[in-house]
Structures are given as C-alpha cells and as structure tokens.
Amino acid sequence: MTPAEGPESNPGAPAAAEALRPSPRGRRRLWRDLREAIGGSEQDFTKGPIPRAIALLAIPMVLEMTMESLFAVVDAFFVAKLGADAVATVGLTESVLTLVFALAIGLSMGATAMVARRIGEGDREAAATTAVQVYALGLAVSVVCMAVGLFAAPAILRAMGAPPGVIEGGVGYTRILLAGSPTVLLLFLGNAVFRGAGDAAIAMRVLWLANAINIVLDPCLIFGWGPFPELGLAGAAVATTIGRGVGCLYQIAILVRQSGRIAIGRRHLRIDRAILARLVRISVGGVGQYLVATASWILLVRVLAVFGSVALAGYTLAVRVIIFTILPSWGLTNAAATLVGQNLGAGRPDRAERSVWLTARANVAFLGAVMVIFFVLPETLIGIFTDQPEVVAVGASCLRWVASCYLVFAYGLVMIQAFNGAGDTTTPTLLNLVCYWLVQIPLAWALAVPAGFGPTGVFAAVAIGEVLLGLSGIVLFRRGKWKERVV
C-alpha cells in the first residue's frame, strides 16, 4: 500500500483492528458514529473510510426496514386473531399488492440511481429537479393503480382462486388497500430520493412515523378499541393507508422546508422532459425487474391455493417472518446502492466495487445468523401468530426451506442492488426472468402437483430459484460492465 492510497485500499483492516481493540477511544467512536447515523449529518460518501460510510448509511436504513418488518409482523399478529380465512385474504391481497410494490420499488430504483449520481457529481440543483420528476411520475402511476383497486377488488380475489367465504369477508380489505396504493408509491419514491441523496436518517424517520401510526391504529380499528369503530379485517387496511399517507405528507414537508440534501423550491417545480425521459428509461427496467419477481410470487400463491386456506395461511405467516429478516437486510443493500451511485458519479468505480463486497460480507453475517434461528425455532416463530397445528407445520416447513438458501441469497441481494444503484436495471430483470419464470415457477408446479410433494414442493422450488439468482448475480457483478452505465 502506498502512502497515496491510504486506508481505503484495505478498508476491512481498520474496522477489524478497531473491533478487536475495545478501548475507550474505540467505544467513543462507535457511539459517535451511531448517533451521527441516526441523527443524520452532512457527509461526502465518496471519500473517507468505506466501512464508516457503509455504517452511516446502513444503520438508519436497517432501522428503517426493521420498523417496516415490525409493522408486517404486528399486522399479521392481529389479523391472525380473526381466523385462517382472514389470514388467507391478507395473503391473496398482498400477492396482488406486490404488483403495486413492484411499481414503487422499480420506480425507486431509477430515483435512487439518478439522485445519487447527481449528488456524487456535486450538482444538487439537478438532484432537486430530478426529485420533482420522480414525484410527477409517481402521481401519474398512482391514479391508474387507485382506479383498478376501487373497481376490480372482487374480480381480483376470484382470479386468485379465493373461496366464496374469503371473497365475501375480505373484499373490503382488498379494495381499501389497493385504492390506497398511491400512498405506497409516493412513500417509496420519496424515501428513494432521500436515500439517493445520502439522507438515510430522514428516510428512517419517515417510515418509523408511518408504521408507528399503523401499529397503534391496527388493533383499535380491527377490534373497535376505545372510541374507534370495529371494522374487522377492513380496519387493518384503513390503519395501513392512514399511516402511509401521514408519512407521505411528512416527506413533502421536509423537501419544501429545505432541511436536507435535497431542497425543492419553486424554481424546481417544472417538468424537465430530458430528465423525465432518463428516469422513465431506468425505471422501466426496475419495474420490469420487480414485476417479474412479484408475478412469480403471485403464481406461487396460486399454486398454493390448490391446497386450501391452511396452506395459504401457513405460507402467509412464514412470509411475514421472512420479511421481518429480509427488510433489515435490504437496508444493507440500499446502502450499497447509494454508495455505488454516488461513487460512480464522482468517477470512483473501484471504491464503488469495494463498497459492494464489504456490504455483501456484512449481509452474509446477518442472514447467516437468521438461517440458524429458522432451522432451530421455526415452529416457535410461526406459533407466535397462531395455535393451529396444521398452519404451524406448513409455516415451519417454509422457513426451513428458505433458510437453506440464505448464505448465497445474502450475496445475491447486494449484487442486485449494486446493479440498480449503477442505473443498470436491465441485468437484474433478465436474471429474475430466467431464475423465477423459467426455473422457479415451473419447478414449483411440477414438485407440488404432479410429483405430489404439495406445499413442500413449492418451498423447495423457491430455495432453488434464489440460489440460482444469487450465484448468477455474483458472476455478472465480477465482470464489471455495470461500471460503464451512463445515467
């Protein structure tokens, strides 16, 4: 290592040495970084030690995603008290709502990549103009999603194979959630802007506020606690929509108050066709990427519907537990995406690559610990939500199969987000298409129905598809074509 290279050329060494030397100075530095990460600060993530940059971005992103995962678990806990049909309704509805999430996440890939690139270039005016185009595109897409939700909820449940009783009791829940999809889109897009700018602490506070409101309102509106009406399953949808709506308003207040890296003024409130066109181009790949993945999820749920409400309920509860672990992991991967975008904008592709590998190792350590828990305590985890033995058995089987792919899956998650952070949304789309549609879905049907393995066949196919995706992502990332992407 030459003196000019400094500690960045071996970024893991300082972090490892500090971890092995629990000195008062090291502890003070740790607490200082923790406070700074949560409180937020002005940082140039294209310079300085990479481990510290990852920590300052990942800590608030992980906390943000932890609250989102906590929301999912709390929601499932209260809905499970209404019975297996209610849980099955949630599973069917969320399998369709994942299409909205696909749009939101896909559009957010373009938002994060473009904002991060402008911030890395030092052009905050262009970053603010880009943010306005992000909101304009999000509003346009929201109108279409809201109309579909209002008028097509019963047809959607029938198409998903829901029994008549599930349709009758759950159509209100489905209609409210799908009609409230604009709050999903705008919440995701606003936080994508903040993450791309490096304002991870703001994105964290937004999601904590939204989900805290939902967690408080959930039991009140489901069971009619205190002065609130007893809305049953529909109450869960109302609580979720209100919480997300408040989060969206908070985001806008921060942007116009100009208290972060992205500050929107009147001069930015215009449609810039060139920026909008680039945003659409990148976002189309992102939307396609997640539509492929979520369409796969819908088809897997459709296969499981053949085996009745118990299979659907067990799978739905298992997915909630999985989300509880995956969302914090996404916090780490989002940090990698921001670092890739900003460092490419600053003309430092080698630093971007080192950031990805360090983040991937941290993700493997985290999901490796989760894997052990899933293998040892799956029945206990599912038993938190239900005492029905058949549902617990299905959910436990799902957790064990998914855990079997976690080590490779951990690398794959980071690699995919690295492509997205570079603005290369095409590569992940093609990977999803091959691994999910050409491998996972046909294999799930073949193992579950003709081969007679039932729900276990679906879970095995999920694990195989994710391993293939992770290995393919590592191979393509090593080739380095993403470094040449123009955004």
Please say if the pLDDT value at position 45 is more than 90: no
- Spatial contact of 29 and 18, defined as CB atoms under 8 Å apart: yes
Between the ranges 152-156, 166-170, 430-434, where is the mean pLDDT highest?
Answer: 430-434
Number of other residues whose CB lies within 10 A of the CB of residue 351: 22
Give the residue-averaged pLDDT of 234-251. 92
d(CA 97, CA 113): 24
Please say if the pLDDT value at position 21 is more than 70: no
- Spatial contact of 341 and 104, defined as CB atoms under 8 Å apart: no
- pLDDT of res. 18: 45
Token code pair at residue 327: 């969302």
- pLDDT of res. 178: 84
Token code pair at residue 90: 């949630």
The pLDDT tens digits of the residues spanning 98-141 come to 778 878 888 898 999 999 999 999 899 999 999 999 999 999 98
- pLDDT of res. 276: 92
d(CA 45, CA 311): 46
Residues 6+ apart with CB under 8 A from 17: none
Please say if the pLDDT value at position 174 is more than 50: yes
Please say if the pLDDT value at position 6 is more than 80: no
- pLDDT of res. 111: 93
Between the ranges 138-152, 317-331, 458-472, where is the mean pLDDT highest?
Answer: 458-472
Please say if the pLDDT value at position 11 is more than 60: no
d(CA 222, CA 185): 24
SS3 content of the chain, % helix, strand, coil (to 5): 85, 0, 15
Between the ranges 79-83, 101-105, 292-296, 388-392, where is the mean pLDDT highest?
Answer: 388-392
End-to-end CA distance of the chain: 33
Averaged confidence pLDDT in the chain: 85
Please say if the pLDDT value at position 314 is more than 80: yes
d(CA 322, CA 132): 34
Alpha helices in 346-405 (DSSP H): 349-376, 378-383, 389-403
- pLDDT of res. 72: 64
Please say if the pLDDT value at position 157 is more than 50: yes
Confidence of residue 144 (pLDDT cuts 50, 70, 90): confident
Report which DSSP code applies to 228.
Answer: S
Share of the chain above pLDDT 90, in %: 46
Confidence of residue 187 (pLDDT cuts 50, 70, 90): very high
Confidence of residue 26 (pLDDT cuts 50, 70, 90): low
Please say if the pLDDT value at position 220 is more than 80: yes
Confidence of residue 69 (pLDDT cuts 50, 70, 90): low
The per-type count for the chain, helices as H runs and strands as E runs, is 18, 0
Token code pair at residue 168: 């009758």
